[in-house]
């Protein structure tokens, strides 16, 4: 809790301010004349007044009248202004189980017309993981249809959620995501394969270095950004596109000889083409955060976050190819301070990490340990995909583990204290989470008449949620109608731009007390 910083608050009924006002406002003419000579040192006016009183010299009547007027004016001014109103501390409360733009999430339904097949006691969540083939959008060279994507985004939004989006061209076990015009014309070379659960007639790996392929990909990314950057239905977008599942790798077809790759083929795009895609993503999205799978010199120069698709399994610093060591090697380990970190809990540990964490503690890659909560803190992760936790019946203990891990991700905003002076409301917001809030959502203050519940005033506060560093505070301020009689109750909220979206709740006492989605701060002080 932040200690109260009470300003000096003179009381209108106190004699001390009046005496000081008299002392500092008047001096006799003789003293003024005596101080006018060259090199003379002027004594403070209050000291001059005291000297006069000590010497028995009476100040002129006109000066006394002026002094009395000044005293009355000052006293009245103190009473009306009350400019030094003290801060009011706000008690802490438990971290909400779910909040927008953070936490664990399930898969969105493959069919936009279907509802998620989740368990009745599934943990609360605010986002859904949506993966789509590029062929759902790209209909020809430079032509696009957004109908399928919009159908998914609208369905997700209707459930009060926002989407984390990835597009792919090669998803093992699914039909190819390469646009049909490139397949039917054989404009791009493709590879059949049987690794990663794929079978003949299913997904195909394209030649990412083919100019036609690169033209399609960069054109698609630019068009996607033009159409959806800043769309409130979207929470985050991962770069996807390249490699198996859009995860940015083609293992085992990665240039190394192995049983699955006896010729040592490398199906990845060249470094130059990878950089071109990174630059295109960076230019296409200015509002909606995007995330890359692997850090590089190019990603570090761009405004991107990162996602770990083997989260908890190959995350910690126990092998040089794990997520954290790669971030450190690329000097991207502090990227979380401006750009989000996300990922998917590795499917092989989703069950044991919830049902019996001790049973999979030693199952991490390369002798590492599986510790989801430690991985969240170390990476400053804001969101994680964990479909198993939402589609399997959990007992009370298991559900609590999943809920706790979800709540520990991302930001955790709390109002530390507030005050109101002459209608100016100031709210100090703290971030007690592991990551910043990555959007500039508005913060509103509302005045409600306590007697009849009517809204008296509403204002958007000055400030930027993105600038609240972890374990730090920022003060937000704005103007509401003055309420000298103390008849109003002041509320504050963060405005989710998705009208159907879930409200952001503070970890503060008074949340949802007066209105759903609002934090009640208290009554306006009387003056």
The phi and psi torsions of 180 (rounded to 5 degrees) equal -60, -30
pLDDT at position 37 is 38
Q: Distance between CA atoms of 491 and 518, rounded to whole angstroms?
A: 6
Q: Cis peptide before 252, with omega less than 30 degrees from 0?
A: yes
User: Residue 117 class from Cβ within 10 Å (0-12 exposed, 13-18 middle, 19+ buried)?
Assistant: exposed
Enumerate the domain spans of the chain.
15-81, 90-94+412-523, 103-407
Sequence length of the chain is 527
Three-point CA angle 436, 5, 427, nearest 5°: 45
Q: Distance between CA atoms of 24 and 21, rounded to whole angstroms?
A: 5
Q: Select from 383, 304, 345, 423 the least CA-distant residue to 127.
A: 383
CB 204 within 8 A of CB 174: no
Q: Distance between CA atoms of 222 and 211, rounded to whole angstroms?
A: 16
The pTM of this model reads 0.83
Q: Distance between CA atoms of 280 and 302, rounded to whole angstroms?
A: 10
Query: Which stretches does DSSP call E strand in 251-322?
Result: 290-292, 305-311
Q: Select from 375, 370, 367, 289 the least CA-distant residue to 327.
A: 375
The phi and psi torsions of 373 (rounded to 5 degrees) equal -65, -40
pLDDT at 16 > cutoff 50: no
From the candidate CATH numbers 2.40.50.100, 2.60.40.10, 2.40.170.20, 2.20.25.240, the one assigned to the domain spanning 90-94+412-523: 2.60.40.10
pLDDT at position 62 is 40
Q: Per-residue pLDDT averaged across 199-207, rounded?
A: 96
Place of tokens 């991207």: 332
Distant-in-sequence, close-in-space partners of 120: CB < 8 Å, separation ≥ 6: none
Distant-in-sequence, close-in-space partners of 100: CB < 8 Å, separation ≥ 6: 126, 127, 162, 235, 496, 498, 501, 502, 503, 504
H helices of 258-385, in order, are 271-284, 297-301, 323-329, 350-355, 372-379
Q: Distance between CA atoms of 291 and 308, rounded to whole angstroms?
A: 10
Q: What is the DSSP string of 384-406?
A: EE-HHHHHS---HHHHHHHHHHH
Q: Distance between CA atoms of 168 and 178, rounded to whole angstroms?
A: 8
Beta bridge partners of 163: 128, 234
- CA 225 → CA 131, 135, 231, 286, distances in Å? 17, 17, 10, 8
Looking at per-residue pLDDT, the higher value among 62 and 294 belongs to 294
Q: Select from 314, 413, 299 the least CA-distant residue to 370.
A: 314
CB 434 within 8 A of CB 401: no
H or E element, residue 74: helix 61-81
- CA 13 → CA 17, 19, 20, 87, 342, distances in Å? 9, 12, 13, 22, 59
Q: Distance between CA atoms of 193 and 344, rounded to whole angstroms?
A: 25
pLDDT at position 273 is 98
pLDDT at 9 > cutoff 70: no
Q: Distance between CA atoms of 314 and 396, rounded to whole angstroms?
A: 28
Q: Per-residue pLDDT averaged across 15-34, rounded?
A: 38
**pLDDT-above-90 percentage for the chain:** 78
Q: Distance between CA atoms of 445 and 253, rounded to whole angstroms?
A: 56
pLDDT at 211 > cutoff 80: yes
DSSP state of 279: H
pLDDT at position 442 is 99
- Average confidence score pLDDT of the chain: 87
Least confident of 26-35, 378-387, 420-429, 513-522: 26-35
Helix %, strand %, coil % of the chain (to 5): 30, 20, 50
Q: Per-residue pLDDT averaged across 52-65, rounded?
A: 38
pLDDT band for 360, please (50, 70, 90 cuts): confident
Distant-in-sequence, close-in-space partners of 23: CB < 8 Å, separation ≥ 6: 45, 46, 47, 49, 50
pLDDT at 359 > cutoff 90: no
pLDDT at position 46 is 39
pLDDT tens digits along 277-324: 999 999 999 999 999 999 999 999 999 999 999 999 999 998 999 999
Q: Distance between CA atoms of 303 and 41, rounded to whole angstroms?
A: 61
pLDDT at 484 > cutoff 90: no
pLDDT at 193 > cutoff 90: yes
Q: Distance between CA atoms of 378 and 369, rounded to whole angstroms?
A: 13
- Which CATH number is associated with domain 103-407? 3.20.20
């Amino acid at each position: 809790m932040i200690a109260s910083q009470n300003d000096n608050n003179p009381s209108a009924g106190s004699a001390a301010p009046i005496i000081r006002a008299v002392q500092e406002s008047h001096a006799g003419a003789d003293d003024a004349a005596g101080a006018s000579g060259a090199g003379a040192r002027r004594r403070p006016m209050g000291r001059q007044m005291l000297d006069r009183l000590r010497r028995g010299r009476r100040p002129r009547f006109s000066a006394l009248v002026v002094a009395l007027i000044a005293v009355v004016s000052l006293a009245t001014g103190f009473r009306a202004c009350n400019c030094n109103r003290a801060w009011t501390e706000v008690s802490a409360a438990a971290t909400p189980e779910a909040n927008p733009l953070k936490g664990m999430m399930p898969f969105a339904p493959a069919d936009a017309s279907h509802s998620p097949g989740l368990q009745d006691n599934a943990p609360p969540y605010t986002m859904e993981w949506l993966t789509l083939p590029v062929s759902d959008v790209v209909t020809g060279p430079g032509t696009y249809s957004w109908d399928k994507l919009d159908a998914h985004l609208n369905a997700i939004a209707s459930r009060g959620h926002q989407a984390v989006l990835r597009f792919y061209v090669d998803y093992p076990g699914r039909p190819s995501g390469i646009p049909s015009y490139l397949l039917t014309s054989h404009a791009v070379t493709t590879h059949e394969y049987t690794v990663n659960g794929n079978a003949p007639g299913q997904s195909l790996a394209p030649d990412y270095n083919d100019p036609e392929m690169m033209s399609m990909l960069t054109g698609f990314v630019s068009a996607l950004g033009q159409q959806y950057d800043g769309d409130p239905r979207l929470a985050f977008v991962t770069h996807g596109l390249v490699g198996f599942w859009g995860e940015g790798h083609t293992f085992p077809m990665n240039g190394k000889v192995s049983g699955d790759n006896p010729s040592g083929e490398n199906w990845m795009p060249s470094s130059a083409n990878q950089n071109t895609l990174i630059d295109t993503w960076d230019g296409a999205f200015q509002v909606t955060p995007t995330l890359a799978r692997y850090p590089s010199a190019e990603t570090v120069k761009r405004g991107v976050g990162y996602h770990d698709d083997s989260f908890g399994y190959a995350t910690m610093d126990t092998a040089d190819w794990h997520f954290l060591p790669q971030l450190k090697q690329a000097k991207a380990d502090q990227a979380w301070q401006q750009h989000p970190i996300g990922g998917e809990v590795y499917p092989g540990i989703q069950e044991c990490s919830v049902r019996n964490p001790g049973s999979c503690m030693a199952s991490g890659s390369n002798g590492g340990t599986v510790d989801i909560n430690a991985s969240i803190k170390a990476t400053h992760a804001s969101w994680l995909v964990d479909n198993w936790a939402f589609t399997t019946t959990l007992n009370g203990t298991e559900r609590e583990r999943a809920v706790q891990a979800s709540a520990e991700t991302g930001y955790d905003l709390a109002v530390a204290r507030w005050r109101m002076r002459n209608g100016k409301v100031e709210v100090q917001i703290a971030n007690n989470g592991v990551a910043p809030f990555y959007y500039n959502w508005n913060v509103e203050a509302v005045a409600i008449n306590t007697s009849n519940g009517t809204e008296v005033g509403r204002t958007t506060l000055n400030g930027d949620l993105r600038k609240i560093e972890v374990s730090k505070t920022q003060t937000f301020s704005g103007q509401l109608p003055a309420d000298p009689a103390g008849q109003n109750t002041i509320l504050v909220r963060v405005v989710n731009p998705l009208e159907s979206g879930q409200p952001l709740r503070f970890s503060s006492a008074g949340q949802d007390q007066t209105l759903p989605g609002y934090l009640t701060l208290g009554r306006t002080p009387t003056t």
